[in-house]
Amino acid sequence: MKDSITILDVANYAGVSPATVTHTLNGKRPVKKTTKEKVLSAIKELGYVPSWNASKLKSGKSGIIGCLAIDITQVFVSKLIKGIESALGHQYSLLFVSAVEFNGDLVAAYNSLKAHNVEGMLICYHIPEGDNILSDIVPFCPTVCLNMAIPGFESIVLDNVSGGFMAADYLVSCGVRHPAIICGPETRYSTIDRLEGFSKRMEKLGISLNKENINFGEFDAEHGFEAAKKMFVKDKKIDGIFCENDYLAAGAINAVKSLGMEVPSDVKIIGFDNRDFSSFWSPSISTFEIPLHDMGMLGMIKLKEKIENKNSIQVSKIQLQPKIIIRDSTSFEVE
């Protein structure tokens, strides 16, 4: 066996032209199924490894898609990445950069990708507090932002207002007439949008949402627990709580039980995000699933379109809808 197997070797072994081997590898032109199988079999038997760098140097393109995240170990990022990879194709490779590598400096992480001459960039942006630190940056290459709308960037986001709207509709359909909401930090866009959708829909339905029954704090179970206990001291009529994530919902459920009440017979509770633990909490938590896989896949598709049409200056925001998941904390099935 030769030390270095070439495309010509593969072509001769499979009985096809070198061009057919190339088209099989890069997917740019259709290849008959039987021919493709012959080529792939020859590649496997000969142990041929394509020279990615050589082909990209020849074309003058890096073939690299940059993927920027605040922390690539976050669960939401890993789900986005699975969607991205499903639509990546053979002509590109992914280069991941996390702000964690740069002591939390997202701009420095962004500039690192810029130095690698990426052909396109996906920003997997977890919703931050305060002002958007990338809002003043002008994209240097085709760019799509996932999970966060940034001015000047193509963005694919969750419709959080619609999520709050749906939570209100659902709780009312369960018989809730004295609602409350436990929110995340006041500065987070998801907090603001989910509260807006929830409160406006309650108002449209003719149900009062008292200001004392709106509680802001961290997105954690401790805040969910303390906020729920505090609300019941002031208003014992509360019969339904929308929690803006599942950690808050878990804390609220524990608080309700600590007060000698039952979920869902006394109080119905719905969360958001569909965290792994929500299905086996006691009781299991009704919640909303975010289509992160679809978001990543659509983001990659949109980015490839932008790379192939660099003259396009259109910037849009695509909003995806959350999906309600009914479990024991509400025990009311949607028909």
Lowest mean pLDDT among 50-64, 132-146, 195-209: 50-64
Three-state secondary structure along the chain? Answer: CCCCCCHHHHHHHHCCCHHHHHHHHHCCCCCCHHHHHHHHHHHHHHCCCCCHHHHHHHHCCCCEEEEEECCCCCHHHHHHHHHHHHCCCCCCEEEEEEHHHHCCCHHHHHHHHHHCCCCEEEEECCCCCCCCCCCCCCCCCCEEEECCCCCCCEEEEECHHHHHHHHHHHHHHCCCCCEEEECCCCCCHHHHHHHHHHHHHHHHCCCCCCHHHEECCCCCHHHHHHHHHHHHHHCCCCCEEEECCHHHHHHHHHHHHHCCCCCCCCCEEECCCCCHHHHCCCCCCEEEECCHHHHHHHHHHHHHHHHHCCCCCCCCEEEECCEEECCCCCCCCCC
Residue of higher predicted confidence among 17 and 327: 327
Q: How far apart are CA 245 and CA 247, in angstroms?
A: 6
Are the C-beta atoms of 263 and 279 separated by less than 8 Å?
A: no
Averaged pLDDT for residues 64-85: 86
Averaged pLDDT for residues 157-184: 97
Highest mean pLDDT among 72-76, 94-98, 250-254: 250-254
How does strand 120-124 pair with strand 64-69?
Answer: parallel
Beta bridge mates, 325: 287
Residue 52 clears pLDDT 60, i.e. is over it: no
Residue 292 clears pLDDT 60, i.e. is over it: yes
Q: How far apart are CA 141 and CA 110, in angstroms?
A: 12
- pLDDT at position 332 is 64
- pLDDT at position 18 is 81
Averaged pLDDT for residues 311-326: 84
For residue range 3-22, what is the model confidence (pLDDT) as tens digits?
Answer: 577 888 888 888 988 888 87
Residue of higher predicted confidence among 154 and 175: 175
Are the C-beta atoms of 93 and 52 separated by less than 8 Å?
A: yes
Q: Quick one: pLDDT band at residue 314, thresholds 50, 70, 90?
A: low
- pLDDT at position 56 is 53
Averaged pLDDT for residues 46-66: 67
Q: Quick one: pLDDT band at residue 189, thresholds 50, 70, 90?
A: confident
For residue range 233-265, what is the model confidence (pLDDT) as tens digits?
Answer: 999 999 999 999 999 999 999 999 999 999 999
- pLDDT at position 1 is 47
Q: Percentage of the chain with pLDDT > 70? A: 88
- pLDDT at position 284 is 97
Averaged pLDDT for residues 306-316: 74
Domains of the chain are 7-50 (1.10.260.40), 61-158+292-322 (3.40.50.2300), 160-289 (3.40.50.2300)
116 CB-contact burial (10 Å; exposed 0-12 / middle 13-18 / buried 19+):
exposed
Q: How far apart are CA 180 and CA 209, in angstroms?
A: 7
For residue range 100-122, what is the model confidence (pLDDT) as tens digits?
Answer: 888 878 888 888 888 888 889 99
- pLDDT at position 129 is 46
Centre a 10 Å sphere on the Cβ of residue 5 and count the other Cβ atoms it contains.
Answer: 16
CA dihedral 235, 238, 243, 247 (to 10 degrees): 80
Residue 241 sits at φ, ψ, to 5 deg, of -130, 130
Residue 313 clears pLDDT 60, i.e. is over it: no
- pLDDT at position 74 is 78
- pLDDT at position 255 is 97
For residue range 123-160, what is the model confidence (pLDDT) as tens digits?
Answer: 987 655 445 566 667 778 889 999 888 777 889 999 99
* Cis-peptide, bond into residue 291, ω within 30° of zero: no
Tokens of 255: 């608080």
- pLDDT at position 97 is 87
Lowest mean pLDDT among 125-139, 172-186, 233-247, 299-313: 125-139
Centre a 10 Å sphere on the Cβ of residue 62 and count the other Cβ atoms it contains.
Answer: 19
